[in-house]
Structure 1
């Protein structure tokens, strides 16, 4: 039993490292200091009335509990309601000329109770939204798992941001596998939006995790991905969905027996960029069909082998990055930004630094407003071997499958 408890404790601690839990404010939705806003409003109205203004303080004070209901917890809102009713009774006693009638007093009590009810309903709605967000976050971590440092024997860094901030999950996906044959990587984008796209992304990543670990031949992995999405589409059509989903994706493998070599299968995706001492160049573009459409072209894309230097970082992105637009409608100049980074870091740039630099530039370009899901994955071979790679113009691509 003690061993089980220690194992559970270690597991929970790891989860907190990669997915820290958000703190829920005790008194208010927006923080402990949210009461300052209605309190400031109360003081201003009360002081204006005491300075001899002709306004009816009783009527204006009704704003205080209503304002509190929008930012404070039900208990704090009720306290403001009681305070407002008490102040109105004090004004009635201390200033008989205020001419506060019984109808005014009943209106104040009604407003305080109404504000309390609004705060209760808002708090319940907020709790329900948080529950949905937690469920979406759990779904996101299934499709987009956190990557421990050095996982699979390579350096890696990943980031995902859904266009729908509240949903927190979309159709983009990525993963890094540690396999007996070396690290294997996937990044892709499912056609469409919403839950159907998320479901399709889950089918592709699930097949990749299974086949990518057990199959030595990357071509077999590619065919397993194709078959998995085909079966998923058949299942969805049995439920009445008419749209057949497909996914553009890139699969990379870092074979153990061939250092400084990357195997690439590109399912209709933009070629990943390589950034390092040789500058910036691209891996093969996706000449094949996306996942789910292989039968239209007679098979899955070929496997190509490319030499990549030990200090070169491969950057994979979805079209949420390459098609990110500024307010003026200009696309994000990814290649130009990578050229600048390569010039600033002639000895190479680590995946985490490359990812952060690109993400910062994209956010500045779009004013942090994304119209599509954004996924980035940067990987680099984790080795101390300084052996140089050939120039990209001299790379020879080998087709190992059709």
Structure 2
């Protein structure tokens, strides 16, 4: 969910949809007044009221904090005036309360500005994520799909993992991959590869030609980045390129660029498709060729599961890797409905987070898809329905 600017952000404390961030400072104010009278003349604590605007500065807005500063000063004067002269806290404590209110208001200004800045950065990251990983209709191009992307850097919310579906006159094409490295360089490389896939995947009839275009684009991007002085000279991307040909309703074509092997999940169990015998995108010049295109069976009731290495390399506390195929097979045996794309993605996501204790060492993408019984899409549906909340 994209966060909005501070003035429209979700308050820190909610009760039935309303903010009660003002309540803790008010309770503290009342508590200090009561204790000041309860402890007697020998132990005056009215000067502790300086904590009230300090607490407000941490959880309230600027104007609320300033109001508490003024209230604290007025309360100090009223309460202190109620005591005989020999027991009054005096001018020194008054100056402390007044100065505390001013400093609290200034601290609130700084905090709110920083929050607005951070929320703006998160909005930019969210826009970048939606540009690289564009929203996909859940029933589109003859496929039902579900996907989830978990960034290892939760503040960045975007990284080098990518996936997309591209309908074309020659069938539907799918690309899932992982750019080596992290940071903006990985995001730029992912965007470059996806841009080429969306064009070549639509126009090119032969999947091998699409694969060649992707390889060339990765090389060009790397060369351009190096010329700009970026440290991208050895950047590459593992990927799986899949085609759902119209003339083979129970077959798919697949080319694997050194990526995790896809799994086919269905009522007859789980099987692994051809592994990454090819080198990653951007390294084809080392072997002089691209990975072969395999045609493999995929029944109508089977789901294709593609993940990045954030799944297979997730470790628990003792250091054991997450066993994807075993865990998926166990889940589907217990409930065959878990082979459906949305249920399958949710099952894997929850399993990875549970196995790793929520500590992701790498960006994690889980993408599942199967052919629709009715190949007609469903225009007008919410495009976010196919993407699970991360």
Q: Same-fold call, TM > 0.5?
A: yes
Q: 1:259-305 deviations in whole A, cap 9, x for unaligned? A: 11111010000111111022001111000110000000111111110
Specify the alignment match of 2:383 in structure 1.
Answer: none
Partner residue of 2:24 out of 37, 51, 74: 37
Specify the alignment match of 1:86 in structure 2.
Answer: 74
Secondary structure at the counterpart of residue 331 of structure 1: coil
Specify the alignment match of 1:288 in structure 2.
Answer: 278
Contact 1:250/1:266 (CA < 8 Å) preserved in 2?
A: yes
1:207 aligns with 2:196: yes
1:51 aligns with 2:38: yes
Secondary structure at the counterpart of residue 34 of structure 1: coil
Secondary structure at the counterpart of residue 350 of structure 2: helix
Deviation of residue 27 (structure 1)?
9.0
Measure the CA separation in 1 of the matches of 2:99 and 2:44.
Answer: 18
Change (3 A) 1:347 1:173: closer
Secondary structure at the counterpart of residue 35 of structure 2: helix
Gaps of 5+ in 1: 1-18, 386-402
Specify the alignment match of 2:106 in structure 1.
Answer: 117
Contact 1:27/1:72 (CA < 8 Å) preserved in 2?
A: no
Measure the CA separation in 2 of the matches of 1:95 and 1:360.
Answer: 62
Measure the CA separation in 1 of the matches of 2:238 and 2:331.
Answer: 27
Measure the CA separation in 2 of the matches of 1:21 and 1:107.
Answer: 37
Partner residue of 2:136 out of 147, 170, 178: 147
Partner residue of 1:368 out of 358, 364, 367: 358
Deviation of residue 67 (structure 1)?
1.3
Higher RCO (Cα < 8 Å, 6 or more apart): 2
Measure the CA separation in 2 of the matches of 1:63 and 1:28.
Answer: 25
Measure the CA separation in 2 of the matches of 1:378 and 1:342.
Answer: 14
1:166 aligns with 2:155: yes
State which drifts further: 24-33 or 322-331.
Answer: 24-33
Specify the alignment match of 1:300 in structure 2.
Answer: 290
Change (3 A) 1:347 1:196: closer
State which drifts further: 259-268 or 177-186.
Answer: 177-186
Change (3 A) 1:218 1:61: same
Contact 1:28/1:34 (CA < 8 Å) preserved in 2?
A: no
Specify the alignment match of 1:180 in structure 2.
Answer: 169
Gaps of 5+ in 2: 14-18, 376-390
Deviation of residue 21 (structure 1)?
6.5
Partner residue of 1:249 out of 231, 239, 254: 239
Q: 1:223-256 deviations in whole A, cap 9, x for unaligned? A: 1111111111111111112332100011111001
Specify the alignment match of 2:328 in structure 1.
Answer: 338
Q: 1:162-181 deviations in whole A, cap 9, x for unaligned? A: 11111111111111111111
Specify the alignment match of 2:53 in structure 1.
Answer: 65
Measure the CA separation in 1 of the matches of 2:310 and 2:211.
Answer: 24
Deviation of residue 117 (structure 1)?
0.6
Deviation of residue 191 (structure 1)?
0.6
Specify the alignment match of 2:182 in structure 1.
Answer: 193
State which drifts further: 27-36 or 321-330.
Answer: 27-36
Specify the alignment match of 1:108 in structure 2.
Answer: 97
Deviation of residue 160 (structure 1)?
0.7
Change (3 A) 1:274 1:115: same
Deviation of residue 383 (structure 1)?
2.3
State which drifts further: 252-261 or 360-369.
Answer: 360-369
Contact 2:65/2:105 (CA < 8 Å) preserved in 1?
A: yes
Specify the alignment match of 2:254 in structure 1.
Answer: 264
| CA RMSD between the two structures | 2.0
Measure the CA separation in 1 of the matches of 2:226 and 2:9.
Answer: 48
Deviation of residue 55 (structure 1)?
4.1
Deviation of residue 71 (structure 1)?
1.0
Secondary structure at the counterpart of residue 315 of structure 1: strand
State which drifts further: 134-143 or 324-333.
Answer: 324-333
Partner residue of 2:339 out of 349, 358, 375: 349
